[in-house]
Amino acid sequence: MTTIKDIAQAVGVSCTTVSNVIHGKTGRVSAETITRINEAIDKLGYVPNMSARSLVSSSSKVIGMISHLTSNKKESIVEDPFHSAFIGSIEKTLRENGYYLMLRTVETTSDLINFLHNWNVDGLFCTGVFQDEFFEALTSLKIPVVLIDSYVSHPNICNVGLEDYDGGYTATRYLLDKGHENIAFASPSIKEKGVVYERFQGYKNALKEAGVPFRQNIVFEQELDTATTIALGTKLAARKDITAVFATADILAAGIMAGLKQAGKKVPEDISIIGFDDINLCQLTCPTLTTIHQDAPLKGKLAVYFLMDKLDNKPIPNREIILPIHLVERQSVKSLFN
């Protein structure tokens, strides 16, 4: 591995001079020497030691991505295609700005503190945050924090969210307009002041406006792993009273469709289904999945822009951005009026 000493010997200057050029401190270095040092760096393939540079500059150029969504310890956050697309956008945008991404699942406040003690991150993105002790710990940090899809607030913390209530309302209203009244609601655990909770409120209020009674016995909360979603599909196949399902994630909708097929039911002939997110998988299911669209790549970019502005100490007049949703109609919903 090429070192600063190797560069210095090749050019015939001191290690201090090479170090100054690498770190941009060139006020007392001639243009000719700078050129020769840079040429030697390229020729010898010198790669800076990021740990050493972070000690000098107090910046590691590493941003932490904390997932506090820990309901199913068997599954990784990146197994969900929506989160993969979102995290991919964050990594790409950070890379374009000269930063690195570190992904970590953190369950407790003590885990968060241990993580921050062991890793010198310049800032944090956090998902799955509610109004609890974990959030209070985030508010006391000295580094910039950007929340993703959270319904908690603090003057020093930014958030990039979505029209979750409108998404739940729009999906349910669409099914109602197709003649469906016995509409099941399928989702992960419904926690107050969370993303799923808001979509659930949209679902319930759409039913209320249409004069359709809300039924708790057709609300299904479960994990998003493949086996559980397929099992829910087979369970729904046995219900004679349900004509449609609103699933709060496309990956959940796809699993339900697979379970329905295994049980001999057809979508949408026997039961209609609508999802949420509009991931690429929606165009691969058979039939293709009607869903609520959200822009995962844009959400990732905006989260990074917030963090970069905070790191640069730029004024942030609006610390929250709420992205819009819209319905994407495909083939998984049948009209009962035909």
Superfamily of the domain at 62-163+297-325: Response regulator (3.40.50.2300)
Tokens of 295: 């822009």
CATH number of 4-48: 1.10.260.40
Query: Which residue in the block uniquely carries the two structure tokens 């469906």?
Result: 180
Pairing of strands 290-293, 326-328: antiparallel
Domain 164-294 is of which CATH architecture?
3-Layer(aba) Sandwich (3.40)
Whether 62-163+297-325 and 164-294 share one fold: the answer is yes
- In order along its 338 residues, the chain shows pLDDT tens digits of 678 888 999 999 998 888 888 766 777 888 899 889 888 888 887 766 555 554 455 678 899 999 876 555 556 667 778 888 999 999 999 999 999 999 988 888 888 888 887 888 999 999 989 888 899 999 988 899 999 999 998 988 999 999 999 999 999 999 999 999 999 999 999 998 899 999 999 999 999 999 999 999 999 998 888 999 999 999 999 999 999 999 999 999 999 999 999 999 999 999 999 999 999 999 999 999 999 999 999 999 999 999 999 999 999 999 999 999 999 999 999 999 97
- For the four alpha carbons of 135, 198, 248 and 330, in that order, the dihedral sign comes to negative
Cis ω before 287 (30° cut-off from 0): yes
For residue 82, give the nearest of 193, 224, 219, 185 by alpha carbon: 224
E strand or H helix that includes residue 234 = helix 226-237
The label of the residue with tokens 């599909």 reads: 233
What is the residue extent of each domain of the chain? Answer: 4-48, 62-163+297-325, 164-294
The Cα–Cα gap between 109 and 162 comes to: 26
